[in-house]
């Protein structure tokens, strides 16, 4: 038990009680006339009766609930939202009670203890089910075989049977799309799907008149105009308009990086980051060409920076002096070195300072001897993508971008042409 508090729960019942009330030991004098279920209090019966009415009815599937709270939790099944997140492992839940139950896995808390064999349980329901082992009590009977079970989970509930019947429609042609042949579990699901073929967008924003296929998409869009951000990070309290944005943000705190590069095993928190990494590091495709010198680039951002070399544009100016720069990072480095403005990134091992966090990360890998970037042409590995790029260009590529103006000889690198120029250049007497 690792020192946590616990207590014994003694669950007793005589044979008469067990026969009349199989689910617990309380007398249940209040009978539901709709389904013959019995309850211990009139308040509980009244709440139960809502299930047989349309007071708290799901507009998506027609299921009814006792109150607005379970209805709200049920609606998340259709929307897929799981706003309650475990701070330890990042697992998501639709209800706070499910999160609370899950959190006991990490804490090891088992407060419910059997008074017979002293076995401990995380939840009271687990203890109650366990007590039937000592009583040999099996109140749940399956028809038509009449086999008995100690736990209801061993039976298929009416809700499960209903869900199964609904699911079977997916394998039949009852709700089949005439356009693509896909089958659905209900007419509502088929109607929603058909909009992907028809292009119908029946839900219109009252502010900007933008139209949407689904009502949920309109609700999310409207938050742009209202400024509403209902999803809050429980760690740093940052707020988000969409639940999916919160899920991505939580990886900042959990460190979860599920998207792994198959070429260098580097991991990323978002699939878009992985695609960018593959395009920048492992792809040889360069779709952006300079109209002045025909040099090729992998991204429009790098092409834009290169064009400034030809035009002489330096859009980034220092607020302290007259210096101007082509790149924003050049300005940040200047502000740090010349005006002590900003924050240095310091290595905790050798105290070397860097103006860019990525350079510090690369530097730390050198301390650890980690080389994540593998050359596709040879077994050599490198600490950074830039070093890998230089290696592939100088060793495995025949492209020579640098030409000597004196003799016309071509070179792969700036360093190569600089060394050559010193030998080629002969000063005039």
pLDDT of residue 420 exceeding 60, the answer is: yes
Residue 127: alpha-carbon gap to chain centroid: 34
**In sequence order, what DSSP letters do the residues of 149-178 get, joined into one string?**
ESSGGGSPPHHHHHHHHHHHGGGSSTTB-T
Are 236 and 245 spatial neighbours (Cβ–Cβ below 8 Å)? Answer: no
Q: Which two tokens stand for residue 331?
A: 């300005």
pLDDT tens digit sequence for 240-250:
888 888 888 88
Q: Are strands 112-114 and 7-9 parallel, antiparallel or unpaired?
A: parallel
288 neighbors 306 (Cβ within 8 angstroms) = no
Cα separation, 105 vs 354, in Å, equals: 42
Kind of pairing, strands 203-204 and 345-346? unpaired
C-alpha distances in angstroms, 15 versus 12, 22, 27, 28, 147?
Answer: 10, 10, 13, 16, 20
Residues 6+ apart with CB under 8 A from 120: 1, 6, 110, 111, 112, 113, 114
Query: Cβ(176)–Cβ(189) under 8 Å?
Result: no
pLDDT computed for residue 152 by the predictor? 56
Q: Which two tokens stand for residue 387?
A: 């070093």
Give the model confidence (pLDDT) of 50-88 as tens digits: 888 777 888 888 788 878 888 888 888 888 788 888 877
Residues above pLDDT 90, as percent of the chain: 0
Higher pLDDT, 220 or 417: 220
Task: From 187, 219, 228, 286, select the one nearest 81 (Cα to Cα).
Answer: 219
| pLDDT for res 150 | 53
Please tell me what DSSP assigns to residue 429: -
**pLDDT value for 13:** 38
Asked whether 257 and 270 are in contact (CB, 8 A), the reply is no
- 410: its two tokens: 């071509």
Whether 203 and 214 have beta carbons less than 8 Å apart is answered as yes
**Least confident window among 98-107, 230-239, 334-343:** 98-107
132 pLDDT higher than 70: no
Confidence check: pLDDT of 290 > 80: yes
Q: Are 39 and 26 in contact (CB under 8 A)?
A: no
Q: Residue 311's pLDDT is what? A: 78
| The two three-digit tokens of residue 316, written as one number | 């980034």
- In this predicted structure, what is the pLDDT of residue 160? 55
Q: Which of 140, 168, 139 is nearest to 156 (CA)?
A: 140
Q: 43-55 pLDDT, tens per residue?
A: 888 888 888 877 7
- pLDDT reported for residue 427: 55
What pLDDT score does 321 carry? 92
Termini Cα distance of the chain: 92
CB atoms within 10 A of CB 65: 19
Return the bridge partners of 125, or none.
none
CB-count exposure of residue 383 (10 Å: 0-12, 13-18, 19+): buried
29 preceded by a cis bond (ω within 30 of 0): no
Q: Which residue has the tokens 């419910």?
A: 112
Better-predicted residue by pLDDT, 425 or 13: 425
pLDDT of residue 17: 37
The secondary structure of 251-293 as a DSSP string is HHHH----EE-TTT--EESSHHHHHHHIIIII-----EE-TTT
Please state, in angstroms and rounded to a whole number, the distance separating the CA atoms of residues 68 and 320: 60
pLDDT tens profile 269-279 = 888 888 888 77
The structure's pTM equals 0.36
The domains of the chain, with CATH numbers, are: 7-152 (3.30.160.60), 166-254 (3.30.160.60)
Q: How many CB atoms lie within 10 A of CB 179?
A: 11
Tokens 């089910």 -> residue: 129
Q: Taking a C-beta distance cutoff of 8 angstroms, is the pair 295, 306 a contact? A: yes
Question: What rounded mean pLDDT belongs to the chain?
Answer: 76
pLDDT for position 281? 73
94 phi and psi angles, rounded to 5 deg: -80, -30
The DSSP secondary structure of 82-133, one letter per residue, reads: --EE-TTT--EESSHHHHHHHHHHHH----EEETTT--EESSHHHHHHHHHH
Quick check: 428 pLDDT over 70? no
Query: 163: number of CA atoms within 13 Å, CB side?
Result: 6
pLDDT digits (tens, 9 = 90+) for 13-41: 333 333 334 445 567 888 888 787 888 88
3-state secondary structure 305-320: HHHHHHHCCCCEECCC
pLDDT at 232 over 60: yes
């Amino acid at each position: 038990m690792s020192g946590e508090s616990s207590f014994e729960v003694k669950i007793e019942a005589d044979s008469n009680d067990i026969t009349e009330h199989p689910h617990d030991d309380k007398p249940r004098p209040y009978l539901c006339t709709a389904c013959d279920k019995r309850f211990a209090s009139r308040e509980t019966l009244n709440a139960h009766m809502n299930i047989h009415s349309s007071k708290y009815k799901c507009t998506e599937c027609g299921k009814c609930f006792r109150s607005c709270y379970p209805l709200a939790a049920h609606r998340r099944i259709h929307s897929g939202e799981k706003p309650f997140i475990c701070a330890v492992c990042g697992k998501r839940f639709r209800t706070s009670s499910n999160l609370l139950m899950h959190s006991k896995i990490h804490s090891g808390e088992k407060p419910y203890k059997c008074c017979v064999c002293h076995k401990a349980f995380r939840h009271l329901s687990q203890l109650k089910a366990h007590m039937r082992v000592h009583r040999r009590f099996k109140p749940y009977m399956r028809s038509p075989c009449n086999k008995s079970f100690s736990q209801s989970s061993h039976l298929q509930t009416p809700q499960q049977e209903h869900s199964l019947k609904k699911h079977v429609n997916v394998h039949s042609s009852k709700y089949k799309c005439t356009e693509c042949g896909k089958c659905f579990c209900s007419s509502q699901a088929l109607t929603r799907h058909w909009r992907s073929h028809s292009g119908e967008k029946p839900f219109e924003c009252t502010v900007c008149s933008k139209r949407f296929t689904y009502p949920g998409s309109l609700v999310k869009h409207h938050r742009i105009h209202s400024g509403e951000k209902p999803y809050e990070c429980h760690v740093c309290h940052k707020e988000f308009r969409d639940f999916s944005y919160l899920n991505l943000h939580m990886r900042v705190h959990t460190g979860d990086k599920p998207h792994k590069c198959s070429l260098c095993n580097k991991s990323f928190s978002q699939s878009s980051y992985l695609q960018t990494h593959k395009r920048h590091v492992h792809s040889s495709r360069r779709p952006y060409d300079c109209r002045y010198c025909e040099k090729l680039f992998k991204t429009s951002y790098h092409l834009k920076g290169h064009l400034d070399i030809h035009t002489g544009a330096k859009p980034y100016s220092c607020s302290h002096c007259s210096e101007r720069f082509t790149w924003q990072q050049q300005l940040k480095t200047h502000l740090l070195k010349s005006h002590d403005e900003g924050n240095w990134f310091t290595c905790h091992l050798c105290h070397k300072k860097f103006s860019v966090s990525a350079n510090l990360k690369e530097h730390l890998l050198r301390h650890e001897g980690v080389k994540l970037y593998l050359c596709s042409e040879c077994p050599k590995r490198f600490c950074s993508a830039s070093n890998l790029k230089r290696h592939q260009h100088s060793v495995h590529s025949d492209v020579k971008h640098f030409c000597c103006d004196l003799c016309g000889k071509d070179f792969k690198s700036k360093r190569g042409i600089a060394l050559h120029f010193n030998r080629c250049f002969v000063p005039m007497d």
